[in-house]
C-alpha cells in the first residue's frame, strides 16, 4: 500500500494554479478544476464550478461568500469528507481520488483537524474524552499518551481546568475552544474551520478568532476558515471570495 505519510518532496518550480497571494510554504492542498454537481432526476445543481486553489503550509486563509455559494461544500471536499464530481485534489502533493475509504479516514486522522460552527461535541463524553477522539483512531497511541496529548491541547486553549466537565456544562465559547482542542490533539497539518464563530456573540467570537490566529502564528498551523464575518476574514493572510460556486477573488 502507498505510504501516505512519507515526507513529500516539494517541487517549488512545478506549475501551480494562480492563487490570490504568494505562498509562504509548500502546498498542503492543491485543488485543480474542482467541480461539484448535485444531480437529481430533474435538476442539476452546480455547487462548485471549476475551482482552482492552493493552500500553502502555514497559511491562514478565509473563504467568504453568501449562503449557498458552495463554501461548506468546498470545505467538505478539502477535508476529504465529500468527493468532487470533477477535477483533482492533492493533499501534500498526492492526488487522493483513488484512495479507499480506509485510506481517506487515515489521512483525515493524521493530517486534518475540523472545527464546526455548531461544535459537534459528543455530549455524552467529558471534555477530555471529546478531545481524545482523533487519537482513538490512531494506532500505536497508548491511553496514557492520549490523555497527555488531549490535556496539552486543552491547556493550549485555556481549558486545562475543565477536563472533567461535560459539553452541556460549558458556554458556547468554551465549547468551541474544546472543539479547537480536539482539532489540535492529533497535531494535524491543516485545520478546516467552518464558521467557527457563527454561533457565538461578538466577544466570544473575537476570543475564538484570536485563538486561531495565535495557533497560526505561533504553531504555524495551516488554517482554512469559512466565515461570514468580513472583519475576521480581514485578519487572515488571504481572503477568497465565492459566488454561485465560483471563486471570484
Partner 1 sequence: MFLSYLKIAWKVLLRRKFFTFISLFGISFTLMMLLVMYAMVDYSVGPQMPELRTDRLLFITRMQLFYRDGGQSNSGLGYAFLDKYARTLRTPEKVSLSEHNFSTVAAYVGNQTLKLDLKRTDDVFWQVLNFDFVAGRPFNAQEERDAAHVVVVNESTARRYFGTSENVLGRVMELDAVRYRVVGVVSDVPLSRIQSYAEVWVPLSTTPANLRDPDYLGGYMAILLAPSAAEVDNVKAEFQQVVNRIPLPDPKQFKELRTRAHTLFASLIAHANGSSSADGASGLVVRVALALTLLFMLLPALNLINVNVSRTLERASEIGVRKAFGATTSALMRQFLIENIFLTLLGGLLGLGLAAGMLAFINSIHLIPYAQFALNGRVFGVALGLALVFGILSGVYPAYKMSKLQAAQVLKGEVAL
Distance (Å) of CA 231 to CA 5, 58, 65, 74, 234: 36, 21, 14, 22, 5
Is the CB of residue 205 less than 8 Å from the CB of residue 229?
yes
The residue within the footprint of partner 1, chosen from 120, 147, 228, 241 (CB under 8 A), is: 120
Q: Are 77 and 83 in contact (CB under 8 A)?
A: yes
Residue showing cell 482539532: 183
And the C-alpha cell for 44? 442539476
The angle subtended at Cα 92 by Cα 89 and Cα 98, nearest 5°, is 45
CB of 136 to partner 1, least distance (A): 5
Task: Give helix 127-136 / helix 172-185 axis angle, nearest 10°.
Answer: 30
Q: Is the CB of 179 or the CB of 208 nearer to partner 1?
A: 179
| Closest to 38 (Cα-Cα) out of 71, 87, 62, 73 | 73
Q: Segment 62-81, which members bind partner 1 (CB under 8 A)?
A: 72-73, 76, 79, 81
Selected range binding partner 1 among 89-97, 123-131, 207-215, 222-230, rule: CB under 8 A: 123-131
- Cα distance between residue 109 and residue 133, in whole Å: 10
Q: Give 56 or 72: the residue with its C-beta nearer to partner 1.
A: 72
Q: Which is nearer to partner 1, 19 or 167 (CB)?
A: 167
Side by side, the strands of the sheet bearing 86-91 are 44-56, 27-39, 86-91, 94-95
Instruction: DSSP letter for 216, please.
Output: I
Interacting span for partner 1 (CB under 8 A) from 18-26, 50-58, 130-138, 206-214: 130-138
Q: Is 114 in the site for partner 1 (CB under 8 A)?
A: yes
Q: Report if residue 110 touches partner 1, rule: CB under 8 A.
A: yes
Question: CB neighbours (10 Å) of residue 238?
Answer: 18
Give the total of residues touching partner 1 (CB under 8 A). Answer: 31
Judged by beta carbon, residue 20 or residue 87, the one nearer partner 1 is 87
CB of 62 closer than 8 Å to CB of 21: no
Residues in 188-217 that interact with partner 1 by CB under 8 A: none
Instruction: Work out whether 60 is an interface residue with partner 1 (CB under 8 A).
Output: no
Assess 228 for contact with partner 1 (CB under 8 A). Answer: no
Question: Contact between 101 and partner 1 (CB under 8 A)?
Answer: yes
Determine which residue in the list 35, 82, 206, 244 makes contact with partner 1, applying CB under 8 A: 82
> Shortest Cβ distance from residue 141 to partner 1 (Å)?
10
The piece of 11-19, 44-52, 133-141, 221-229 that touches partner 1 (CB under 8 A) is: 133-141
Residue with grid cell 470533477, as numbered in its chain:
86
Contact residues for partner 1 (CB under 8 A)? 72-73, 76, 79, 81-82, 101-102, 105-106, 108-110, 113-114, 116, 118, 120-122, 124-125, 129, 132-134, 136-138, 182, 186
Amino acid at each position: 500500500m502507498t505510504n501516505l505519510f512519507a515526507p513529500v518532496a516539494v517541487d517549488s518550480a512545478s506549475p501551480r494554479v494562480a492563487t490570490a497571494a504568494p505562498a509562504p510554504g509548500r502546498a498542503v492542498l492543491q485543488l485543480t478544476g474542482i467541480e461539484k454537481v448535485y444531480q437529481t432526476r430533474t435538476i442539476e445543481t452546480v455547487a462548485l464550478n471549476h475551482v482552482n486553489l492552493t493552500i500553502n503550509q502555514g497559511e491562514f486563509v478565509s473563504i467568504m461568500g453568501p449562503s449557498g455559494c458552495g463554501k461548506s461544500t468546498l470545505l467538505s471536499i478539502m477535508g476529504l469528507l465529500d468527493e468532487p464530481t470533477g477535477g483533482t485534489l492533492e493533499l501534500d502533493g498526492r492526488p487522493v481520488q483513488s484512495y479507499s475509504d480506509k485510506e481517506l479516514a487515515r489521512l483525515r486522522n493524521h493530517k486534518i483537524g475540523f472545527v464546526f460552527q455548531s461544535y459537534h461535541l459528543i455530549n455524552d463524553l467529558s471534555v477530555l474524552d471529546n478531545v481524545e477522539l482523533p487519537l482513538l483512531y490512531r494506532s500505536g497511541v497508548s491511553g496514557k499518551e492520549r490523555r497527555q496529548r488531549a490535556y496539552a491541547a486543552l491547556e493550549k486553549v485555556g481549558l486545562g481546568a475543565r477536563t472533567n466537565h461535560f459539553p452541556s456544562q460549558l458556554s458556547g465559547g468554551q465549547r468551541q475552544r474544546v472543539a479547537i482542542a480536539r482539532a489540535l490533539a492529533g497535531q494535524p497539518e491543516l485545520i478546516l474551520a467552518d464558521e467557527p464563530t457563527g454561533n457565538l456573540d461578538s466577544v466570544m467570537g473575537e476570543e475564538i478568532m484570536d485563538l486561531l490566529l495565535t495557533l497560526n502564528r505561533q504553531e504555524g498551523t495551516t488554517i482554512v476558515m469559512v466565515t461570514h464575518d468580513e472583519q475576521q476574514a480581514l485578519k487572515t493572510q488571504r481572503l477568497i471570495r465565492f459566488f454561485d460556486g465560483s471563486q471570484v477573488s
